Amino acid sequence: MRNYTVFLKKEIFEYTKTYKLLIMLMVFAVFGITNPLMAKLLPEILGSLMADSISMSLPEATAFDAWTQFFKNATQMGLIVMTILFSSILSWELSKGTLIIMLTKGLSRTVVILSKYTCMVLVWTTSIALCFGLTYGYTVYLFPGDLTVNLLFSTFCLWLFGVFLLAVLLFAATLTKSNYGCLLITGTAIVVCMLVNIIPATHRYNPISLATDNLGLVTNSIEVSSLYCPILISCLLSLFLVVLSVLIFRKKQL
Amino acid sequence: MDLAILKEYLPFLIPLVAAQVALGITALVHVLRHPHYRFGNKVMWALIVMFVQIIGSVVYFAFGRGEE
Amino acid sequence: MMGILEVNQLFKHFGNYEVLSGLDMDVPEHSIFGFVGQNGAGKTTTMKIVLGLLKPDSGSVTVCGEKVAYGETKTNRSIGFLPDVPEFYGYMRPLEYLKLCGEITGLTKARTKLKSEELLSLVGLKDEKKKISGFSRGMKQRLGIAQALLNEPKLLICDEPTSALDPIGRKEILDILLAVKGKTTVVFSTHILSDVERVCDRIAVLHKGRLTLHGTLSEIKERHRHNGFILEFGSLEEASLFENAEELRQPAISLSRSGNSVTALVADHNVGGHFLLSVLSQKQIVPLKFAAMEPTLESLFMEAVQ
């Protein structure tokens, strides 16, 4: 347990020193600001592009448009950036051999996996909180009075999907030796989730619903209760994948 | 876009530009001070992190930077 | 003497290639144990099994009386390990790195600080404030030793600590190993025989997956001594006079001459030696040198890996 905090501290230190934390925060901060701005500017830009002769009334931008941007940017770009950044979480230490010394110093392999996962989740949580905060603040400033529902719950779903994605990533990292292999497995897993999602019956159980239903939640077109099942499944799957990663890594020949 | 609109959006643009520039400059400094890359060369990476906003820096730190 | 590291009937293969085939090894306490073998003989594999990083096909390893378990092993707490190419977190400074190591092995803060400073001055990195990423190969090797000794291990395992270094760097590392002798037992693998001769008191030669030669250096030399003498003469005439002496024409003695020196192999060290001396005094020749033949480590090694 004491080693867990020590190694977690080392991981956080490493993320600051290798600029990974900075990149995550900057990327999510930029998204956070861009979301409401794009929502506000898009109709105006479109309007200025159109010739004066064609008069067409564009719908007034609302807070909903800002949140559309938030859930699109954060889900797509944000998760991709995060996956790329964390893909070398184990391969870098294993290929360089830095972890060998730590392990021979009596660091348990379970602790390595758990603290690495914790650190990734911490960085992800901070990043999405920052992004959410900025989008929220600027949306309130730009579109005062507009109300949105289920905002926190919807963001929680997105956050949980990120946690699930990180568990997949961790599992992929213990299976392969290179970060490209890790990216490939993680990507494949997500594509499989998307393909399965084509069958409507599976939608209620698929973790990817957590990242696709966010807008529906905000517009109230999707019931909150319909997501309870994916939430439970994502939690269980994440837990299962982390435990499996620990078991695999404990038996891995280094 | 005229000046008035620009002024209206200043509270957005300043932090936005600040974040992008901060990221770009950090990456640029790193590119110039650590002249070892997994692939590519100094000029290429310097141009990428300066002109491809955000993604350029991300790609550099994730793939381009060499071993310490 | 208690064996600090005992290896019993170790087998390990990679694919079709059998690296270790029934390796037995016993390292007594307070020795510097030279683990010699050609490249690819299985030295690193053996060490990784001892550290619980690789899984043996069969056989067991005991460190300080405790069995090594693959994967998670408690025995690593009494081992310090220096990999062949030690790599550290490049963004740290030496003191920060040792602090991390100390926290992981469970030393107290004060103890870590004290030990780190002591060890950094032992390995000559005391005033190094650079980040580790800027370190040279030799500096990393020395930091590796400091790191390995931090928790005062009973057993220090070094994987080819000198192979990649220049002569000065090598000497420094060997001196450090000599300095820690007595406090800990050192096992180091190498293929540089002069290093072994300089610091080791015990050696083991690994060949084809098992030890073909092991024991203390003097023991081995004693065991493999050919009963023979080397005589060096002042002139060619004296040498040939001695070589052609009638008295020496007997089956128990064989002679060979090259230039001024004559090598005489005899059946018994004492009897043969006395006889050679008596012949010399009979012929009234005083040799420049009269020495018993010592086997060189190189010849022993060549013999062991035949």
pLDDT tens digits, one per residue of C96-130: 999 999 998 888 999 999 999 999 998 888 888 88
pLDDT computed for residue A57 by the predictor: 61
C-alpha A158, offset from chain centre: 7
> Residue A91, exposed/middle/buried by CB under 10 A (0-12, 13-18, 19+)?
middle
- Mutation target for C interface from A2, A94, A100, A101: give the one with most C CBs within 10 A: A101
**Taking CB atoms and an 8 Å limit, are A100 and C103 in contact across chains?**
no
C-alpha to C-alpha distance for B6 and C5, rounded to whole angstroms: 75
Please report whether residue A44 resides in a domain. Answer: no
pLDDT computed for residue A92 by the predictor: 86
Q: Mean pLDDT per segment of 10 residues, for chain A of length 254 residues?
A: 90 89 87 84 74 61 85 83 89 88 88 95 94 90 80 92 95 90 93 89 87 85 87 95 94 83
Q: What pLDDT tens digit does each residue of chain B (68 aa) get?
A: 566 777 777 777 788 888 888 888 888 888 888 878 888 888 888 888 888 877 888 888 877 777 65
Tokens 């997956």 correspond to C209
* Between residues C302 and C50, the one the model is more confident about: C50
Please report whether residue A48 resides in a domain. Answer: no
For the CA atoms of C61, C64, C65, C70, the dihedral, rounded to the nearest 10 degrees, stands at -40
The pTM of the full predicted model, rounded to 2 decimals, is 0.85
Query: How many separate domains does chain A show?
Result: 1
Please report whether residue A47 resides in a domain. Answer: no
Please report whether residue A54 resides in a domain. Answer: no
> What are the tens digits of pLDDT across the range A189-209?
999 999 998 888 888 888 888
**Taking CB atoms and an 8 Å limit, are A97 and C53 in contact across chains?**
no
> What are the tens digits of pLDDT across the range C194-207?
888 888 888 898 88
Please report whether residue A75 resides in a domain. Answer: yes
> Residue C273, exposed/middle/buried by CB under 10 A (0-12, 13-18, 19+)?
middle
Q: Which domain holds residue A98?
A: 2-38+61-251
Q: Flag whether residue B68 sits within 8 Å of chain C, measured between CB atoms.
A: yes
**Which residues of B fall within a CB distance of 8 Å from A41?**
9
pLDDT computed for residue A58 by the predictor: 62
* Between residues A180 and C251, the one the model is more confident about: A180
Can you list the positions of beta strands (E) in C172-276?
A: 185-190, 202-207, 210-216, 228-232, 254-258, 261-265
pLDDT computed for residue C182 by the predictor: 80
Q: Which domain holds residue B35?
A: 3-64
Please report whether residue A55 resides in a domain. Answer: no
**Taking CB atoms and an 8 Å limit, are B19 and A26 in contact across chains?**
yes
pLDDT computed for residue A168 by the predictor: 95
DSSP string, chain A: -HHHHHHHHHHHHHHHHTTHHHHHHHHHHHHHHHHHHHHHHHHHHHHHHS-TTS--PPPPP-HHHHHHHHHHHIIIIIHHHHHHHHTTTTHHHHHHTHHHHHHHTT--HHHHHHHHHHHHHHHHHHHHHHHHHHHHHHHHHHSTT---SSHHHHHHHHHHHHHHHHHHHHHHHHH-SSHHHHHHHHHHHHHHHHHHHTSGGGGGT-TTHHHHSHHHHHTT-S-GGGGHHHHHHHHHHHHHHHHHHHHHHHT---
**Which residues of B fall within a CB distance of 8 Å from C136?**
none
C-alpha to C-alpha distance for A243 and C260, rounded to whole angstroms: 76
Please report whether residue A43 resides in a domain. Answer: no
* Count of CB pairs separated by less than 8 Å, A with B: 55
ipTM for the predicted complex? 0.84
pLDDT computed for residue A203 by the predictor: 84
**Which residues of C fall within a CB distance of 8 Å from B68?**
90-91, 131-133
Q: What percent of chain C has pLDDT over 70?
A: 99
Measured in angstroms, the CA of A225 and the nearest CA of chain B are apart by 36
**Which residues of C fall within a CB distance of 8 Å from A14?**
89, 91
pLDDT computed for residue A6 by the predictor: 92
**Taking CB atoms and an 8 Å limit, are A33 and B15 in contact across chains?**
yes
Q: What is the mean pLDDT of chain C?
A: 86
pLDDT computed for residue A55 by the predictor: 57
Please report whether residue A79 resides in a domain. Answer: yes
pLDDT computed for residue A50 by the predictor: 67
Supply the Cα-derived Rg of chain A in whole angstroms: 21
Query: How many separate domains does chain B show?
Result: 1
